[in-house]
Amino acid sequence: MQLIRGVYNLRPEHKGSVATIGNFDGVHRGHQAVIQQLTNEAARLNCKKTVITFEPLPQDFFLGEKAPGRLTPFRDKFIALEKLGVDQMLCLAFNQKLANLSAEDFIQQVLVEGLEIKSLVVGDDFCFGKNRSGNFTLLQQAGKQHGFAVQKTETFSEQNKRISSSRIRKLLEAGELQQAEKLLGRPYTMSGYVIEGDKRGREIGYPTANIRVGRRVSPLRGIFTVEVNGIEDHPLPGICSIGTRPTVNYRGFLIEVHLLDFTGDLYGRRLEIVWLEKLRDEEKFESVDAMVRQIEKDEVNARIFFDAEARRRRE
């Protein structure tokens, strides 16, 4: 999949496609249904499939540090859309200029002059442009004027409730990983590069691979059993802490993974973390010794979990 950053980077070979617009945070089953409809329309018209998205997300721009945690960082979203067969992603920088762009100018500059789209696939509740003044009806009118079709996507539901990024976010905040997996259509994952830490884990007998994030990019918080990809040719079991390390007064948000029965240098490696089950909430302990005793219990519980998983897979 080709990444195009900004309308000014569009070339003739990028034009004449079927497009859809959205944040696609999580690339969940609802998003997957949109991409399938996009794929069907592209096959009918014999053209490329384009996803138009934004970085930062509009809610990140407007709310700043108060914005809810993302389900997927930008790179993970790109990979997920690529796996679904999208041909190109047009990423628009969401800044004050774009926020002030009227719905009519967005249509003209991005859809008509920029991409020269043949067809657009969006939800009938889709809103865009300054003050969210643009809607499905406006797009239909523009389509008739400029010669592109506009198709609406149907609401995708699970248990009679709409599948949405905010619904999945709430499930993850509650530690309901299995329920979130049903809506995502796959286990919840995150990925990132291993950085050098302060080696506190090594000092207490539990070395960790540390993955730092610039802001809270996930609604998860606590201690989890995980599988880690990117080290060997099969997933490795581990325990992962995601949060602020309150016992040692850490400033920032950090992911720390302790791999069971593994030793080796992982600095600079990009790892994918598959979140499996929540063990407990993050806690502030009275002492490091108290924290170590709890980590020992976490390891016991994690090994019980992985032993049960191994038996289940053999059945």
Q: Output the pLDDT for position 172.
A: 95
Higher pLDDT residue, 156 or 241? 241
Among 174, 162, 173, 212, smallest CA distance to 190 is for 212
Per-residue pLDDT, 206: 85
- Domain 189-314: state its class: mainly beta
pLDDT computed for residue 117 by the predictor: 98
* Mean pLDDT on 235-247: 85
3-state DSSP call for residue 60? Answer: helix
- % residues pLDDT > 90 (the chain): 70
User: Model-level pTM greater than 0.85?
Assistant: yes
Domain with CATH 3.40.50.620 in the chain: 2-160
**Taking a C-beta distance cutoff of 8 angstroms, is the pair 192, 211 a contact?**
yes
Q: Which long-range contacts (CB under 8 A, 24 or more apart) does 55-61 make?
A: 55/91, 55/92, 55/93, 55/94, 56/94, 57/23, 57/25, 57/94, 58/23, 58/94, 58/99, 60/94, 61/94, 61/95, 61/99
The fourth-level CATH superfamily of domain 2-160 is HUPs (3.40.50.620)
**What is the average pLDDT across 91-108?**
97
169 Cβ contact partners less than 8 Å away, ≥ 6 residues apart: 68, 69, 71, 219
Q: Which residue has the higher pLDDT, 112 or 310?
A: 112
For the chain, give the mean pLDDT: 91
pLDDT of residue 103: 97
What pLDDT is stored for residue 132 in this prediction? 93
Is the pLDDT at 18 greater than 60? The verdict is yes
Taking 60 as the threshold, does the pLDDT of residue 230 lie above it? yes
Answer whether residue 251 shows pLDDT above 80.
no
